[in-house]
Amino acid sequence: MTGAHEQHPFLELIRRRVSAEGFDPARELDERTVRELVADATLAPSSFNIQHWRFVAVRHAADKRRLQAASHGQRQVADAAVTLIVLGDTRGVDRLPEIVERAVAAGALPPGKAAAWVRLARELYADPRTAREEVLRSCSLAAMLLMLSAEARGLAAGALTGFDADRVRREFEIDERYVPVMLIAVGYPAGPGAPRQPRLAVDEVLAFDRGRVF
């Protein structure tokens, strides 16, 4: 199995990807490309198909500078053509009745299953901590797809988690129901990327059958 698939272009893609630090500030991204990146991100798996993820695309120079100021001055936020604020909707489950209705209409969900699905999800995410943690999970899954989609499209992307979430919310008029989970700077790379940081070996992070202190 492995031999035949070892050459899948996806494996080459993830091996060459590094977090971008340098962007060509002269090259913009058109709105269509931003929409395609977001569409790809929404193909991530999603608990109950709630799709907690939301995105604000920051593209104008003055806005990017304000976002940079809320991100400890990290340059890539302003140099990138677009920096996406990845938001998680802590009240995402409120939209689930509509989502399952569409799924039933599309034949993707048996009608008899829909009501129980909504009920179970509502119970689970009534707890604010559970909702917040699921938001971090599902938005991060989507963020990974977005970064890979950028790489596949000849762009570069870099995730940042060092920012002042309250300030980002204030500056970009983001309702408090949304948690800013991550920033993703996307643009055309300027020169070669940063060197890849060496990773821990597989044996340092993987155990079989039982846990251990790694």
Q: Is 54 in the site for a second copy (CB under 8 A)?
A: yes
Q: Is 61 in the site for a second copy (CB under 8 A)?
A: no
User: Which residues 33-52 are close enough to bind a second copy by CB under 8 A?
Assistant: 33-36, 38-40, 42-47, 49, 51
* Rounded least distance, CB 23 to a second copy, Å: 14
Euclidean distance between CA atoms 149 and 104, whole angstroms: 29
With respect to a second copy, which residue has the nearer C-beta, 79 or 88?
88
Tokens of 77: 């936020």
* Rounded least distance, CB 40 to a second copy, Å: 6
With respect to a second copy, which residue has the nearer C-beta, 66 or 79?
66
With respect to a second copy, which residue has the nearer C-beta, 126 or 207?
207
Q: Is 83 in the site for a second copy (CB under 8 A)?
A: no
User: Which residues 148-207 are close enough to bind a second copy by CB under 8 A?
Assistant: 148-149, 151-155, 158-159, 161-162, 169, 172-175, 177-178, 181-182, 195-200, 202, 205-207
Residue 69: which of 183, 147, 193 has the closest Cα? 183
Residue 75: which of 162, 173, 137 has the closest Cα? 162
Quick check: 19 and 159 in contact, CB under 8 A?
yes
Euclidean distance between CA atoms 138 and 50, whole angstroms: 9
Those residues whose C-beta lies under 8 Å from the C-beta of residue 89, and which sit 6 or more positions away, are: 52, 53, 54, 95, 135, 177, 178
Length of the chain: 214
Euclidean distance between CA atoms 109 and 54, whole angstroms: 23
Q: Is 57 in the site for a second copy (CB under 8 A)?
A: yes
Strand partners, 23: 189
Tokens of 20: 């971008």
User: Which residues 101-140 are close enough to bind a second copy by CB under 8 A?
Assistant: 102-103, 106-109, 124, 133-134, 136-138, 140
Site size for a second copy (CB under 8 A):
99
With respect to a second copy, which residue has the nearer C-beta, 78 or 143?
143
With respect to a second copy, which residue has the nearer C-beta, 55 or 79?
55
Q: Is 87 in the site for a second copy (CB under 8 A)?
A: yes
Q: Is 66 in the site for a second copy (CB under 8 A)?
A: no
Euclidean distance between CA atoms 23 and 78, whole angstroms: 9
